[in-house]
Amino acid sequence: MNFRKWVYLFFSTLALGGLSGMITGLVIKGDLNQGIVPLLGLAVWFLGVAIIFSLISQMGFFAYLTIHRFGLGIFKSVKLWNAVQLVLVAFVLFDLVFFRYTAFAKAEETIFSYLVLPFLLLILGLIVAFIKQKQTNKQAFVPALFFMTVVTTLELFPVLRANDSKWVWIMFVPLIVSNIWQMLTLHKLTGTASK
């Protein structure tokens, strides 16, 4: 991948993450009754915050590409490395429900409200992994699923600790949009898409 393609991936991810986060922030926290100028100020603020989330997504993506190469080198087998990744996916999704529920649940809350985010993450991860597999090869499924679930969860960790449901969604949307875009664009830029 040359510098021009990397710049395209960087700025397109930044734009998509920023816009999706700005829209999400305005939908969740915006108030149409406050007037156009305060709403525009809020939009600019959410755009800036979402761009930061998009940058976190990009750092996570390139960190995963490095870790994936290390994993292949350490385990010396794609099948074994994929099995390790699948175990980690299951572990992280379970922890995303269990630890959040035990740490933050109030007496009247059930565990079902804590299942929404991991379930959505798993469904989106499976969809993206299936598309990635179709566009490249069979070996891309597990790494794509791992990235979409485990790495996205790690990127969400600061806001998960705060346990503010509005901010969880304001951060989740630009992260997931950025991660999907990067995952489904990289092979097109590097010329590794299946013919």
* pLDDT per position as a tens digit, 113-153: 899 999 999 999 999 999 999 999 999 999 999 999 999 99
- Tell me if 37 is assigned to some domain: yes
- 106 — pLDDT class (breaks 50, 70, 90): confident
* pLDDT per position as a tens digit, 157-171: 988 888 888 999 999
* pLDDT per position as a tens digit, 27-50: 998 777 778 888 899 999 999 999
pTM of the entire predicted model: 0.92
Domain that holds residue 127: 3-190
Other Cβ atoms within 10 Å of 137 Cβ, number: 13
Q: Is 90 exceeded by the pLDDT of residue 192?
A: no
- Tell me if 146 is assigned to some domain: yes
- Tell me if 42 is assigned to some domain: yes
How many domains does the chain divide into?
Answer: 1
Q: DSSP of 99-123, one letter per residue?
A: HHHHHH--TT--GGGGTHHHHHHHH
Q: Is 90 exceeded by the pLDDT of residue 22?
A: yes
- Tell me if 195 is assigned to some domain: no
Q: 104, exposed or middle or buried, with CB in 10 Å at 0-12, 13-18, 19+?
A: middle
* Predicted local distance difference test score (pLDDT) of residue 30: 77
* Predicted local distance difference test score (pLDDT) of residue 38: 86
* Predicted local distance difference test score (pLDDT) of residue 194: 62
